[in-house]
Amino acid sequence: MIPSRPPQAPGEEHPEEPSRRLLWISGIGASGLVAFAWLSGEINVSGFFGADRARNLKRFLTEDAIPFPLREDGFTWSGLWTWVAGHWNAAAGEATLTTLWIAVASMALAGAGALLVAPWVARTISTREPFLQNGPTGALWIWASRLARLICILARALPEYILAFLWVAILPGSAWPAVLALAMHNGGILGRLFGETLENLERRPLQALRTLGGSRGQITALAAVPVALPRFLLYFFYRFETCVREATVLGMLGIVSLGYQIQDARSRHAYDDMLLLVGFGVLLVLLADLTSHGVRIWLRREAPR
């Protein structure tokens, strides 16, 4: 039941009934779903805290997770270091770097794809009289814009992991599946963000160029995109963080990167190795976070908000 509200709450003189209704329904629906989730019996909380699970956890923390060379000889810094360095040199180092390169390659691809799609998404460009009209006109243009939006939505709707899973089956044996999956998902997100940025640009300078006889392509490539570039780069580096994090797990599908080594250590029940590899992943993600945070602060110095 929707609770009744006082007849004249402050700030509600505007007719916004329908919009408020969605928020009420959402709030009630979300609370209902959460309550249902915990009461449905699908989530076995008591089992998680049961005695045998506790025993597993204790063994994991006191034995399995302790680095192998330190289990018997006791803890020494040099022993720990030899263990870490040995793993880095054996396979973990290469896997970590491969993960980074997968993220870099897929973001470059995603960025390029998004740059190509964005003008079609922007309704101020994808219209019969670009930059001059308020609403989109020309049936063909309207459909082109809708199609571009649909492509962006579909590209990013499925999780990267599922996309990569399907690509691995079709293109086994290289890093392409991971790169394609990450590029599709991020390209879809960036394509729409880039397109909306182009659409929201200050229109008058572009209109001036149009009345001076600039073509659609010229104005887009030489005026609109350069003006929007700071925003584009902000979005790009915001997605780069997430992409590196996502790249750490795609190896679980058989692409030799961090995820692959983590899965491998787990299947050997070498949980100490597994946690070390997770640690390398954490370092990689934190470094990527820091880098893109730094670049974004640097970009913001001039980027219009």
Shortest distance, CB of residue 198 to other proteins, whole angstroms? 16
Site for other proteins contains 176 (CB under 8 A)? yes
Of 5, 12, 28, 56, the one binding other proteins (CB under 8 A) is 56
> In terms of CB distance, is 15 or 74 closer to other proteins?
15
Report yes or no: 70 and 80 within 8 Å, Cβ to Cβ: yes
> In terms of CB distance, is 99 or 145 closer to other proteins?
99
Site for other proteins contains 229 (CB under 8 A)? yes
Give the Å distances, CA to CA, from 35 to 16, 24, 25, 30: 29, 17, 15, 9
Site for other proteins contains 221 (CB under 8 A)? no
Site for other proteins in 104-123 (CB under 8 A): 104-105, 107-109, 111-112
- Show the DSSP H helices in the chain as ranges: 17-39, 45-48, 51-59, 68-73, 77-87, 93-121, 139-157, 160-170, 176-199, 203-211, 216-219, 225-250, 258-267, 271-300
Site for other proteins in 243-302 (CB under 8 A): 245-246, 248-249, 252, 259, 262-263, 266, 271, 274-275, 278, 281-282, 285-286, 289, 295, 298-299, 301-302
Of 161, 205, 209, 216, the one binding other proteins (CB under 8 A) is 161
Dihedral over Cα of 171, 175, 180, 185: its sign: positive
> In terms of CB distance, is 214 or 230 closer to other proteins?
230
The token duo for 51 is 């005695």
Angle between helix 258-267 and helix 93-121 axes, rounded to 10 deg? 130
Report yes or no: 252 and 262 within 8 Å, Cβ to Cβ: yes
Total residues at interface with other proteins (CB under 8 A) = 79
Within a 10 A sphere around the Cβ of 121, how many other Cβ atoms? Answer: 26
- With contacts defined by CB under 8 A, name the span among 29-37, 85-93, 123-131, 138-146 that binds other proteins: 29-37
